[in-house]
Amino acid sequence: MTKPENIVGIEYNRVTNVSAHDIPGYKLGEDYAWSLEKFEESFQINIQHLTEKEANFDLVNIDTSVANAFRRIMIAEVPSVAPETIFIFNNTSVISDEVLSHRIGLIPLKVDPDLLTWVDSNVEEDEGKFTDENTIVMSLNVSCTRNPDAPKDSQDPNELYRNSNVYSKDLKFEPQGRQLEMFKGNPVEPVFPNILLAKLRPGQEISLTAHCVLGTGSDHAKFSPVATASYRLMPVIQILKDVEGEDAKKFQKCFTPGVIGIDDDGKAFVKDARKDTVSREVLRHDEFKGKVKLGRDRSQFIFNVESVSAMSPEEIFFKSVRILKNKAEYLRNCPIGQV
């Protein structure tokens, strides 16, 4: 006979009793209700390292969905500036206009996105859609010539020709209107100066301007301010039975270097679980059967954020938190209409 507690109620406009409670590990009456005080108490941030381009920090005791929201926002919703429209005046190189334009679009630029406003897509181009407030102009003018001073028997294009390689550093900032003051002492330039854009031979020339605007990674990956923004769960390694002697050395080799240490008695111990990739190599060897237990801590997220924009990685994370907060507050204030 069907037990009453197993019946999912199908009513006119709702379903009831949808979730099963007979799951091992599920305790009825446990308090999982949201409490800001409890969250403030238990939530921790431990920064491991913070450099100009990379941040590594732990978020401890936060829900997966929120951690994932931060990650998604950092990749796709934190705005940054990238070339959007390329005007090509002359391009006699072997790289076609559209490929060259695409390559220029992908170059990360050192522009603080807060200094620009969004381009209003409702305004027509001849009505002042692009202004000094929302557009950065970069120009690229390179022509290749023979080097008259080249050694006679040289085969090296770098010696034979001038400007045979076009690099991202050849993009020059052309301040418009008030931008001369705004970017004083902090001119716009590519984050990485030596990105190869095209190769030229004598007589070939590239002449173009690039208009750079604000955008988000959800629109195009070139606007994403991060190279990677990812999290993983903290590895947990439990040694259940002692591993000693030669076995300990083999045991050590099953893990990423630095994870397992060997003490004075020749016993293996967990030195730094954070470094582990949880490869499961150790589980393939019979001699370690039942001696070790691998796992991951679901409450500890190790974030790694690598910036490729003018912003520092911690600023990108800050912005992601603010964007999620704005989303919630904006929706909270929206009137709820009827369909």
Per CB under 8 A, residues contacting another protein are 13-16, 18-19, 32-34, 36, 39-40, 43-51, 54, 57, 59, 62-66, 68-70, 72-73, 76-77, 314, 317-318, 321-322, 324-325, 327-332, 334-339
Least distance to another protein, CB of residue 40, Å: 5
Least distance to another protein, CB of residue 70, Å: 8
Least distance to another protein, CB of residue 224, Å: 14
Least distance to another protein, CB of residue 52, Å: 9
Q: Which of 258, 285, 284 is nearest to 273 (CA)?
A: 258
Q: Which of 268, 279, 269 is nearest to 235 (CA)?
A: 279
Calculate the dihedral angle through the C-alpha atoms of 200, 201, 202, 204, rounding to the nearest 10 degrees. Answer: -50
Distance CA 337, CA 334 (A): 9
Least distance to another protein, CB of residue 335, Å: 6
Contacts with 256 (C-beta within 8 Å, 6 or more apart), sequence order = 275, 276, 277, 279
Q: Are 243 and 268 in contact (CB under 8 A)?
A: yes
Question: Which contiguous run of DSSP H or E holds residue 332?
Answer: helix 313-333
Q: Name the residue nearer to another protein (CB basis): 1 or 331.
A: 331
Q: Name the residue nearer to another protein (CB basis): 308 or 324.
A: 324
Q: Name the residue nearer to another protein (CB basis): 69 or 150.
A: 69
Q: Name the residue nearer to another protein (CB basis): 13 or 194.
A: 13
Q: Name the residue nearer to another protein (CB basis): 148 or 335.
A: 335
Give the burial string for 297-309 (b: 16+ CB within 10 Å, else e).
eeebbbbbbbbbb
Least distance to another protein, CB of residue 38, Å: 11
Least distance to another protein, CB of residue 311, Å: 14
Distances from the Cα of 229 to the Cα of 77, 173, 232, 241, 314, angstroms: 12, 29, 11, 37, 11
Q: Name the residue nearer to another protein (CB basis): 72 or 162.
A: 72
Q: Name the residue nearer to another protein (CB basis): 98 or 114.
A: 114
Give the burial string for 186-216 (b: 16+ CB within 10 Å, else e).
eebbbbeeebebbebeeebbbebbbbbbbbb
